Structure 1
């Protein structure tokens, strides 16, 4: 069974993300697995002569389980209140000891996980993506897309997705993956090449991308260029102006987009209300496709 893995630490942002992701659950016709990690080893106080805080730690698993049951029931009631024709998913929960990263790696092997959902920071999903340790560990080692939903996001529709690209090779696979997903869900795709300057040496890569885009059938897809020094600010504004519901990008441990976002020091460009981020791993097993010559798509 296809499964959407929803990670929670029971924070307000995490709960918001889980409830917001109900749209994805319905569109992808997938089951839900709510998951929480805990540590069961004793923690010693920093002052000398103190006793180990064992009793509290022994209760962590039980507390996590109680919270997961409560959250599971909330999601079930939420789906039950919706229209009778809407898909009713199987919702399960699981709690395990250990780090989020190590447990996610096991779950990716044990389950047919098609997407991971997690909450973003209070300020910005982009800031949380590149500066949140737990988020980065999951994203850097995931074999499926990861959706980061910020706390202030109103994710109640899915009509348009914007994919930011720097003409990396794996972006071609991401376009194919998103095209297949777009056909099944019904959203249109806007592929945006972001750069800090006019790069004439990338004309060959651009032509290859345009050929690939135009070869895709039965999907609404457009292509644009986005140039300027403050790419993050321009990309945020662009997504707002074109009505995007999701911003997607391929995650590279070393790549133009990752370097660009990390170098940004203007936090005000990341603050406020942002749309969810879909991060596609660069080393995924998305279908490989060849480049064929076609007429370029229209550039608006």
Structure 2
């Protein structure tokens, strides 16, 4: 049973991510957990010092969120009724990243699917701050879906890597299942001016080859110094429908998880972005 956490702030972008999850896990028995974290909303909404008034406002926001989350579930069933999918709703007083990560750990979740932006939908900030925090700290794969993205099966997948990190079998399993479901072609892109691999890199590449176990697996090189440009070029050349990267210390993605670089990538990234984690859990 696939366990998928889908955070919602009731924006169009959040619902678009939910629709993507319904489609990408269409053929899998899945439990969808619709989650709304509302601590920031309470603190922003109430600036007084009266504790009783604060608790009253907190309860009001929680009740309103629960009602809206129920409507999201109803919209989901209307959009994509599926007997394979069970849906659960949860509202939590906490920050989004903490709430998601606690759920990931407690229920041993397989994936988080969320929008790239929140209610502001501000094109200038591209990957919203919440999305970046989830990328960095949540201990399971995260799929971020751009605003207004129309679902397309991920037949062509790009996986940039430097082969410097040992991959985790569980993280690759989600990708493997997706590859098998859609008979996807995977382009593994090594970005470095030096094409010769070390022993460590060769071993990690071989682990990746065996772990993905896909006949449509291609290993490619790019000597472009700008990693973002190398990725965007490969996306265009291969008509990529999903970008996959691994979050780990000293990885390409960690290098890119800073506002300016993430924005450069996201401004031109119009496809779902899956972030695998190399974190213990």
Give the alignment's TM-score, normalised by structure 1.
Answer: 0.76
Deviations 1:57-103 (A, max 9, x none): 431011101110100001111123xxxxx654112211111112222
Say yes or no: does 1:22 pair with 2:22: yes
Matching of residues 189-228 of structure 1 within 5 Å: 189-195=186-192, 197-200=193-196, 202-205=197-200, 207-215=202-210, 217-228=213-224
CA contact (8 A) 2:244 2:273 kept: yes
Say yes or no: does 1:58 pair with 2:59: yes
Deviations 1:232-267 (A, max 9, x none): 133123213312211000012443442246385695
CA contact (8 A) 2:105 2:139 kept: no
Matching of residues 107-126 of structure 1 within 5 Å: 107-121=103-117, 122=121
For 1:75, the equivalent position in structure 2 comes to: 76
CA contact (8 A) 2:163 2:202 kept: no
* Local SS of the residue matching 1:26: coil
In structure 1, stretches of 5+ residues that fail to align are 81-85, 286-300
CA contact (8 A) 2:241 2:272 kept: yes
Deviations 1:144-199 (A, max 9, x none): 2011111132232121221110112234755566335422453222111123x235
Q: Which of the pair has more CA radius of gyration?
A: 1
Query: CA 1:143 to 1:54, structure 2 compared with 1: closer, same or farther past 3 Å?
Result: closer
Matching of residues 1-300 of structure 1 within 5 Å: 1-39=1-39, 43-44=46-47, 56-80=57-81, 88-121=84-117, 122=121, 127-128=126-127, 132-171=128-167, 173=169, 178-195=175-192, 197-200=193-196, 202-205=197-200, 207-215=202-210, 217-260=213-256, 262=258, 267=263, 270-272=266-268, 274-284=270-280
CA distance in structure 2 between the partners assigned to 1:64 and 1:156 by the alignment = 31
Single out whichever of 99-108 and 258-267 deviates more from structure 2. Answer: 258-267
* Local SS of the residue matching 1:9: coil
CA distance in structure 1 between the partners assigned to 2:124 and 2:113 by the alignment = 12
CA contact (8 A) 2:161 2:252 kept: no
CA root-mean-square deviation? 3.3
Query: CA 1:266 to 1:251, structure 2 compared with 1: closer, same or farther past 3 Å?
Result: closer
Query: CA 1:261 to 1:238, structure 2 compared with 1: closer, same or farther past 3 Å?
Result: farther
CA distance in structure 2 between the partners assigned to 1:53 and 1:205 by the alignment = 55
In structure 2, stretches of 5+ residues that fail to align are none
